[in-house]
Each structure stands twice: as C-alpha cells, then as structure tokens.
Structure 1
Amino acid sequence: MTNFLNLPTKSGGLFRVVVETPRGAAAKLAYEPKRGVFQYSRPLPVGNTYPYDWGFVPSTLGDDGDPLDGMVIHQAATAPGVVIQCDLLGALRVKQKDSDGNAIRNDRYIFCPRKEDAPDKPLAADHVSQDLRREIEQFFLSSVLGTGKTIKLKGWQDAADAAKSLSKGVKAFRRRHQR
C-alpha cells in the first residue's frame, strides 16, 4: 500500500501533487493515511464544485499539521490518488481561523501539469491571470461556508516566493519525521 504522504516532493525538477478531490466534485475527499484510502470529508456548499483537481504536496507539512495544499489548473479531471508532476505557478496566501478561534497560515499552492502531460496547457510557466486569481479566490471563500472556519486572503506569491514557502514545508516535514 502506497503512503502518499511520504512520496518525494519533487521528481525531475517538477513538484508532485497527489489528487484528493478531482475537478467537478461537489464533496471534499481527504486522504486517510492509516487506512490508505481517500474518504468522504464533507459536502461543499450547495452549487459549488471543485473547479480544478485539489490535493496536497507530499513530504510537506503546513501549520495545520497537514501536507501543504495544492490546486492543479488543467482542463482534465483525474481521480483520487493520481499523482501529477507539475510546474509551480504561485500561491494564494491565506490566514485561516478554525471554529475554536485558532489562527494559522494555510496557503493554497497553484500548479499546472508539465507540458508533456497537458499539451493544451493554457498558462505561462509562472503566471496566474488576474481573472483566474479572482475565480480561485471566490472558490476558496465560498468553500469554507458552514465549516466553522473563516479565511482571509493575504495576496498572491509568485512562483519563486511560493517555492521558498514550499521549501519550509519540506523542512517541517523532515523535522517531524526525524524524531
């Protein structure tokens, strides 16, 4: 049984993203490493679906104790457990408050598949257009309705700054697993 959490973060200079919830899903799925399954987590608010594949970057750790989140911008829908090799486009910086009032940083990293996997790739290697940014922001703001969480968007990072943030997540993962 594959433990997706422990896959190497990168392969051949590209980031790996493990898909948890495919594009078009109206429910959030989450990887359960102890059982090695992708299980139902919660429904999205009425009328919402994931606009793109959603998942995590393996061998990373965020402030919430989970792997860093990633959205893969492409025209296909995959399935839970698919691993996509991607270019990093940037990140949406997010401050999240849970229902207990605890505030953490919980950025959303934005990727696109390598050119060989998506020849119709509509994005520049390190750019997310203003229109697409607004659409992504609106999705994330609406996706937390009814969860007890609130989020504040803190702006966008370009690919270089997002890569530095991802490196911190890799280091946090290594520290936790060296104990």
Structure 2
Amino acid sequence: MTNFLKLPTKSRNLFRVVVETPRGAAAKLAYEPKNGVFQYSRPLPVGNTYPYDWGFVPSTLGDDGDPLDGMVIHQAATAPGVVIPCDLLGALRVKQKDPGGTVMRNDRYIFCPHKEDAPDKPVAADHVPPDLRQEIEQFFLSSVLGTGKTIKLKGWQDANEAAKSLSKGAKAFRHKRK
C-alpha cells in the first residue's frame, strides 16, 4: 500500500502533486493514510465544483498539520491518487480561522503539469492571468461556506516566493519525522 504523504516532494526538479479531488467533483475527498484510501470528506456548497484538480504536495507540512495544498491548472480531470509532475506557478496566500478560533496560514499553491515538449519558459505567478486569479479566489472563498472556517486572501506569491514556502514545508515534514 502506497503512503502518498511520504512520496518525495520533487522528481527531476518538478513538484509532485497528489490529486485528492478531481476537477468537476462536487464533494471534497481527502487522503486517509492509515487505510491508504481517498474518502469522502464533505460536499461543496450547492452549485460548486472543483474547477481544477485539487490535492497536496507530498512530504510537506503546513501550519494546519496537513501537507501543503495544491491546485493543478489544466483542462483534464484525473482521479484520486494520480501523481502529476508539475511546474509551480505561484501561490495564493491565505489566512484561515478554524471554528475553534485557531488562526493560521493555509496557502494554496498553484501548479500546471509539466509538458516535456513545451519550450522552456520562465514560470511565475504572472502566468495565472488576472481573470483566472479572481475565479480561483472566488472558488476558495465559497468552498469554505458551511464549514465554520473563514479565510482571508492575502495576495499572490510569485513562483520563487512560493518555492521558498514549499521548501519550508518540506523542511517541517523532515523535522517532524525525526
């Protein structure tokens, strides 16, 4: 049984994203490492679906105790458990307040699948067009309705800043394992 949480964060300088909830899903799925399954977590608010594949970056740890979150911007829908090698586009900085009042950072990292046949180009947050940024922001704001959580969006990080944050999450994961 594969423990997706412990896969290496990167493969050949590309970030790995493990899909938990595929594009088009109206319910959030979550990886349950104890049993090695992807299980139903909760429905999204009525009328909402995931606009892109949603999952996590393995071997990372965020302030909430979970792996760092990742959204993969592409036109296909995959399935839970698919691992996608990705280029990092940037991150949406998020301040989250849980129902118990705990406040933490819970950023959303934005990726795109790496295309072997694409010409090399610099990857930065400006590759997420402003209208798509707004749509992503609205999705995240609406996705927490009914959960008791509140989020405040704190702006976007470019790919270099986001990579530093991902490295910090990988270091936290390694430190926790010791």
Shorter-chain TM-score range: over 0.9
The within-5 A match list for 1:98-177 is 98-116=98-116, 125-126=123-124, 127-177=127-177
The within-5 A match list for 1:70-89 is 70-89=70-89
Name the SS for the 2:167 alignment partner. helix
Q: Share of identical aligned residues, percent?
A: 85
Q: How big is the shift at 1:116? A: 3.1
TM-score (norm 1): 0.95
- Name the structure 1 match of 2:46: 46
The within-5 A match list for 1:25-40 is 25-40=25-40
- Name the structure 2 match of 1:14: 14
Q: How big is the shift at 1:125? A: 2.9
Gap runs ≥5 in structure 2: none
Q: How big is the shift at 1:115? A: 1.1
- Deviating more after overlay: 144-153 vs 127-136: 127-136
TM-score (norm 2): 0.95
Amino acid at match of 2:123: A
Q: How big is the shift at 1:124? A: 7.1
How far apart, in 2, do the equivalents of 1:125 and 1:161 lie? 12
CA shift digits 1:46-68 (9 cap, x unpaired) = 00000000000000000000000
Q: CA RMSD, aligned part only?
A: 1.3
- Name the structure 2 match of 1:58: 58
How many aligned residue pairs are there?
174
How far apart, in 2, do the equivalents of 1:55 and 1:116 lie? 22
Name the SS for the 2:99 alignment partner. coil
- Name the structure 2 match of 1:94: 94
How far apart, in 1, do the equivalents of 2:130 and 2:167 lie? 26
Gap runs ≥5 in structure 1: none
How far apart, in 1, do the equivalents of 2:88 and 2:169 lie? 15
Amino acid at match of 1:125: V
- Deviating more after overlay: 142-151 vs 127-136: 127-136
CA shift digits 1:11-34 (9 cap, x unpaired) = 001000000000000000000000
How far apart, in 2, do the equivalents of 1:162 and 1:131 lie? 20
